[in-house]
Amino acid sequence: MTTHEPVTTERHALETTAIQHLWPHSNDIEWDEFTDRGLRVFVSGDGSTLTDAQGRTYIDGLAGLFLVNVGHGRTEIAEAMAEQARRIAYTSASVSTNPAAIRLAETVASLTPGDLNRIFFCSGGSEAVETALKIAKQVQALRGFPKRYKIIGRRGSYHGTTFGAMSLTASASERYFGPFMAGVSRVPSPNHYRNDFGLEGEAGDLMCARYVEQEILAQGPEHVAAVIGEPISAANGTHLPSPVYWQELRRICDRHGVLLIMDEVITGYGRTGKMFAAEHYGIVPDLMTMAKGLSSGYAPIGAVAVRDEVFEPFKEHGNAINHLLTFGGHAVAAAAASKNIEILQREDLVARSAEMGDYLMELAEGLRSHPTVGDIRGGLGLLTAIDLVKSKDSKEAWGTSHPFIKGLALRTQERGLITRVWDVLHIAPPLVLTRSEAEQIIDIVDTCLTEAEAAHASEIQ
């Protein structure tokens, strides 16, 4: 159970020090919001529960940031990391490796679909995407297509905030960081609630796929290196594409010699009720990025898995990949990831994600009676989104800076639920979530929606 006393203005010493010295990572919370209510400092976690410096407990409804798949407080992961650090913590990925990285590469290759057998390690999701872009561009050149450098992404997607990844990310700030990487174009992505073409279901998804082909032809296939997309895009509202979308996209890329990059940074390692979301769609991408659930956040690690035919040209003399990351294949991070995967498999948490995802979705459906709930999406594992609107008829969103959204986010936190509230309210808890915790999550969201709707009743249509 979450425990909360009325919010006090008295701050813990750690909270004060954080405000004085720490620079939080945030693109949606202003500095005065941190200082007014205090920067939340979590000091411990157990399963799906977090405890802050004030002693208050919360349900982690976002698994940190879509990643603590095996739950908090796994001492055996900590012990595996400590044991590895005692033996050897670091080897340079450019001239050597270590047993932990080798074992992890073998394990990842055994889990990924198809012949995604070659693994390049890095430190996180943004680096994984940067690496995939470099691999795609270099292999096209090695295959005799030096002008194939362009990348086609999708509107609404998120691929990270390093420069290349940010150039593909829909929310990138041109105001501060433009111009971005050259050769990037964006196309519509599957959306069964506000489809760009006014089409329903599979028809809308197929139109999105065919739009990709039109963009390839418009750019010229001889200029396009790759198409990138998340199998299910949390950043774009957790719309679930029909299988035909990804299957058609696979055919289109093959037809034009374009590589298909599937970004599984959020969806990998059980989040969608399969080890990888690609399994829902029956395809094998040319490159697959991963991070987050690879270690469940116990250590910073990411990877790119590539198909055998993509790696083959790099084996030729003089064709070594022109890419190096200092912490790629870090031994302690690899040990953490291996133990994390062992737990996922031993406790059958991928199947648990599918089971609990169904139950969470069943509970969430009861929120449709709220006048501000336009749509509820999910049902593939523990990845659920509640689309928040001013009007169910017009489907008009509130906007992430609107007091309704800001107030709803604060209300959920004050009642003991950590989540993210933008145009959609995301629910993606650890895969160890219990039925009781799922019920608490929906009860809190229900109560907070009722309060927020009362406060903004005049704006709801």
Confidence class for position 25, pLDDT limits 50, 70, 90: confident
Q: Is residue 2 part of a domain?
A: no
Q: Are residues 342 and 353 in the same domain?
A: no
Confidence class for position 6, pLDDT limits 50, 70, 90: very low
Q: Cβ atoms within 10 A of the Cβ of 2, count?
A: 17
Q: Are residues 274 and 218 in the same domain?
A: yes
Q: Are residues 199 and 98 in the same domain?
A: yes
Q: Are residues 242 and 130 in the same domain?
A: yes
Identify the burial level of 42 via C-beta atoms within 10 angstroms of its C-beta, where 0-12 means exposed, 13-18 middle and 19 or more buried: middle
Q: Are residues 119 and 251 in the same domain?
A: yes
Q: Is the previous residue joined to 24 through a cis bond, with omega within 30 degrees of 0?
A: no
* Mean pLDDT, all residues of the chain: 95
Q: Is residue 368 part of a domain?
A: yes
pLDDT at residue number 11: 86
| Domain finish residue from 346, 368, 397 | 346
Q: Are residues 263 and 132 in the same domain?
A: yes
Query: CB–CB of 338/80 below 8 Å?
Result: yes
Q: Are residues 356 and 226 in the same domain?
A: no
CATH classification at residue 428: 3.90.1150.10
How many domains does the chain fold into? Answer: 2
Q: Is residue 260 part of a domain?
A: yes
Q: Are residues 126 and 181 in the same domain?
A: yes
Q: Is residue 1 part of a domain?
A: no
Separation CA 408–CA 362 (nearest Å):
22
CATH classification at residue 84: 3.40.640.10
| Domain finish residue from 312, 328, 346 | 346
Please say if the pLDDT value at position 145 is more than 60: yes
Q: Are residues 235 and 257 in the same domain?
A: yes
Separation CA 244–CA 281 (nearest Å):
8
Q: Are residues 274 and 370 in the same domain?
A: no
Q: Are residues 81 and 198 in the same domain?
A: yes
Q: Are residues 433 and 449 in the same domain?
A: yes
Separation CA 51–CA 424 (nearest Å):
25
The model's pLDDT over 58-105, given as tens digits with 9 standing for 90+, comes to 999 999 999 999 999 999 999 999 999 999 999 999 999 999 999 999
Separation CA 433–CA 357 (nearest Å):
10
Q: Is residue 338 part of a domain?
A: yes
Query: CB–CB of 3/416 below 8 Å?
Result: yes
The model's pLDDT over 334-363, given as tens digits with 9 standing for 90+, comes to 999 999 999 999 999 999 999 999 999 999
| Domain finish residue from 346, 376, 396 | 346
Q: Is residue 85 part of a domain?
A: yes
Q: Is residue 435 part of a domain?
A: yes
Q: Is residue 8 part of a domain?
A: no
Parent domain of 59: 13-70+348-459
